[in-house]
Amino acid sequence: MSEPDNESILLAYLTEVRGNGMAARVTEAYTNSKPLISIGDETMLAAHVGSYVVIRQEEIAVMALVFKIWEQDRYSDRNVRLVDRYISLIPVGEIGTDGTFIRGMRHYPTPGAGVYAVGMKEINAIFSRFRAYEFYIGQLSTHKEYQISLDPRAFFGRHFAILGQSGSGKSWTVASLIQSTIKAMPNSHMIMLDLHGEYAWKTPGGLVKSAFPSHQVNYVEATEMEMPYWIMSYAELVDLFVDRDDKNASMQMSYMREVIQVLKRKEGQRIGLPTVSVDTPIYFSLAEMYMHFKSANEERRDFGKVQGALFGVFDEFLIRMQSRFNDVRYDFLLKPKIRNTSESMAGLLRKFVGLGEHKANINIVDLSSVPTDIRPAISAQVGRLVYEFNYWNPQRRDFPITLICEEAHAYIPREKGGQFDGTKRMMERIAKEGRKYGVSIGVVSQRPTELSETMLAQCSSFICLRTSNPDDQAYIKRLMPEAEGDMADVLSSLGRGEALVLGEAAPLPTRVQIYRPNPEPKSNDVDYYESWRGGAHDLDMDEIIHLWRTQTRKSK
């Protein structure tokens, strides 16, 4: 192996070697208050926290990350107080004899081995294979001029997660990542569940604005799109209409299955389908289903003297269904005006996957105007449509789709047996089976401890932004290899838009400053200072009441 220019810059000697870490004593030349070194055009602090070093001993060359620095007093023979400086190292891989980087440890050096400074040559050895993809997401935090590329095959093909507390730059990161994706892969297909209208929104004048150029984005407002109930699976309809805590819930579910089967069989005969299941996505009348339940619930025989077998069993179900049907917030779901025939499904899917009149890379489904209590069901329906679409798509290998789930903990929760357990199972099914059919998931969450364990377990890559909560830090630490677990301690010190990238898409855990997105998403943070200095002095109370009553949100 050719000798690098910086091999002469000896920083420290190993003093301790463990299976999950190493320690070294810094040489006297770099124990002063300004331990600067120069490598090529770079000037940096020697062995500072977050920097890379290489440990060399005979044919062994181990790449490591500086994790901690501390000093320890000692006294000379003449009782003069001296200070030794030490560094803790996390080994991340080896540099082979041909100069290539190999992740993981196969050969361990012994105490006494030299710890040398790392320059661009070694860094290139780590990232060179990944740079060939040209999927650049940001700069290396320790070397701002070095652009970091991920492996898009691993990143999108095996699911990913973006984790970080509120204000850490999640929206920034998501927008930047999508912009970088479209730049590197112009034929990409992504669908985003936008819960807060951050990535695309309508101005009061009706103009659509977004964090992406207009030719790349297709904005879909869920309430205008019409997500008709008849496309929902049986499990999702149960979540919508049945209270699982009701003592008659099991009877309601059984009878609903039977009624839907009858109604869909009739529609199947109309359109020429020989066989129909309860989940076949064809039209059926919700009013007819209601009347079936009502008739069974009020059935009497022998001139009203004898009650039917199901008399009174569906009281709660009918009340719940009627309340849903009369609530204007549910009109887009329960009273479709355009998507009210089986034949209308093709147009819905075309628009949904970005193949409508306006073809686009990123399809943003704005759920900000959807009632909070049914967002999980709608989100699961979107996910199921993506999965089913590519499951039955013969060209799925040429048309892979990524579903990006904003605030995923809200509808893919960790808790079991909740109100939307069926929708959670659907999303977990996509995580477990979707990649076989060209459907991957990217989950975005500020509370990983509240997110489904199954979902996170299926993710192979993680972009972790600033996280201060000890429970969330500990959870992220468990996602990392044991030898690299201590790196989770830097999560609380990351800057806005700065992330720790972990998993298969990166050659090693890497601290990256994510590119600033251009254009930027709409921040939901309210500027109290500016608003309280020169904000509104009066409000249109009638407009607020009208919007509240009609459940209509307006953006500014």
Q: In this predicted model, what pLDDT tens digit does every residue of 235-244 receive, in sequence order?
A: 888 888 988 8
Q: What is the largest CA-CA distance in the chain?
A: 114
The CA distance from 526 to 199, in Å, is 17
Q: Above 60 in pLDDT, residue 267? A: yes
Q: What is the pLDDT of residues 12-55, one digit of tens each?
A: 999 999 887 899 999 988 988 888 888 777 778 888 888 889 99
pLDDT of 104 reads 80
Per-residue pLDDT band at 464 (split at 50, 70, 90) = very high
Per-residue pLDDT band at 157 (split at 50, 70, 90) = very high
Per-residue pLDDT band at 1 (split at 50, 70, 90) = very low
| Helices within 226-248 (DSSP H only) | 234-241
pLDDT of 472 reads 87
| Average confidence (pLDDT) over 418-422 | 65
Q: Above 50 in pLDDT, residue 2? A: no
| Average confidence (pLDDT) over 428-434 | 89
Provide the CATH number for the domain formed by 147-228+336-524 in this structure: 3.40.50.300
pLDDT of 417 reads 67
The CA distance from 511 to 193, in Å, is 27
The mean predicted confidence, pLDDT, of the chain is 86
The CA distance from 387 to 401, in Å, is 9
**CB under 8 Å to 25, separation ≥6 — which residues?**
12, 13, 15, 84, 85, 86
Q: What is the pLDDT of residues 177-187, one digit of tens each?
A: 999 999 999 99
Task: Tell me the CA distances in angstroms from 181 to 135, 328, 516, one per residue in order.
Answer: 7, 38, 14
Nearest alpha carbon to residue 507 among 43, 216, 123: 123
pLDDT of 3 reads 42
pLDDT of 4 reads 42
pLDDT of 142 reads 78
Q: Above 70 in pLDDT, residue 5? A: no
pLDDT of 556 reads 60
What's the pTM value of the predicted model, to 2 decimals?
A: 0.81
Q: Considering the chain, what percentage of its residues have pLDDT values greater than 70? A: 93
Per-residue pLDDT band at 93 (split at 50, 70, 90) = confident
The CA distance from 40 to 408, in Å, is 45
Nearest alpha carbon to residue 162 among 467, 515, 489, 553: 467
pLDDT of 31 reads 87
Q: What is the pLDDT of residues 345-364, one digit of tens each?
A: 998 888 888 888 888 999 99
pLDDT of 461 reads 92
| Average confidence (pLDDT) over 115-144 | 86
Q: What is the pLDDT of residues 102-119, one digit of tens each?
A: 888 888 999 999 999 887
How far, in whole angstroms, is CA 199 from its chain's centroid?
14
pLDDT of 419 reads 63
Q: What is the pLDDT of residues 271-305, one digit of tens each?
A: 999 999 999 999 999 999 999 999 998 887 665 55
**Helix/strand/coil (H/E/C) assignment for every residue in 269-327:** HHHCCCCCCCCCCCCCCHHHHHHHHHHHHHCEECCCCEECCCCCCCHHHHHHHHHHHHC
Angle 249-271/234-241 helices, nearest 10 degrees? Answer: 130
pLDDT of 256 reads 94
Per-residue pLDDT band at 533 (split at 50, 70, 90) = confident
Positive/negative CA dihedral, 99, 101, 107, 108 = positive
